[in-house]
Amino acid sequence: MGEGSGHSVHPWTRDASGPSLILPDGCLDVIVRPDGEAIVAGPDATARESVDVGRYVGVRFSHGLGPLVLGVPADELTGRVVPLADVVGRAAASDVGAGDVAALRGWVARRLATVHDDDPWAPAAFAAAAVGNPVTAIAARAGLSARTLQRRCHARFGYGPQHLGRVLRLQRALALHRRGLAWADVAADAGYVDQPHLARECRALTGRAPTRL
């Protein structure tokens, strides 16, 4: 699986061994736990602690695709982890598979086949926010008023365009630091006013200083 019509689908596996910090990224995940239960992890507005243990298999939907696949607005799932059956119904969730990557991918492929989205505003808005475009520019490019953009972003990303921009800017900053840039350079390149601004935003979104991430 990959990208289609501007949307992104990312299968993943993770061997968890204890406490970890899940950072917000504007995405929604369908996950199969080690015990075989399928769950939905909605978009996080701020970081949350996880104490998972075992192998987790999942698919991450970015660029606003998840709500179309699941048939539910993203803001109904913001900050929540719920059984997949509660979102799509027991019958629709029954063939996800008990930790089987192939079964989960097959389930996603079947759901994707039913998705029809002729309006590319959501993936375009996500991509624009990801590179630091201001909210006014995103609204103008989409041909939407600020109020309409706010409402649509809540439905597709789980929160408004300004918060989405903050979340994706932090993700951009962390990616730059992983490439070896010093924090001062990261702050400048990612679009923060200065390094203290980066530190404040990092604490607001994750509860930790950048150096602790």
Q: What is the pLDDT of residue 30?
A: 96
Q: Cβ distance 58 to 31 under 8 Å?
A: yes
In a 13 Å sphere around the CA of 121, the CA atoms on its Cβ side amount to: 20
- How far apart (Å, rounded) are the C-alpha atoms in residues 85 and 39? 8
Q: What are the sequence ranges of the domains in the chain? A: 3-112, 121-212
d(C-alpha 86, C-alpha 70), whole Å: 11
Pairing of strands 53-62, 81-83: unpaired
Tens digits of residue pLDDT in 99-147: 678 889 899 999 999 888 777 899 999 999 999 999 999 999 999 999 9
Confidence of residue 81 (pLDDT cuts 50, 70, 90): very high
Distances (CA, A) of 118 to 8, 82, 107: 16, 29, 22
Strand bridging mode 38-41 / 81-83: antiparallel
Q: Residue 91: exposed, middle, or buried by beta-carbon count in 10 A (0-12, 13-18, 19+)? A: exposed
Q: Which helix (H) or strand (E) holds 21?
A: strand 20-22
CATH class belonging to 121-212: mainly alpha
User: Where are the alpha helices (H) located in 35-192, listed in sequence order?
Assistant: 66-70, 84-88, 90-93, 101-112, 121-130, 135-142, 146-157, 161-178, 183-190
Does the predicted model carry a pTM greater than 0.95?
A: no
- The answer to whether 176 and 190 are in contact (CB under 8 A) is yes
- Per-residue pLDDT of 141-179, as tens digits, reads 999 999 999 999 999 999 999 999 999 999 999 999 999
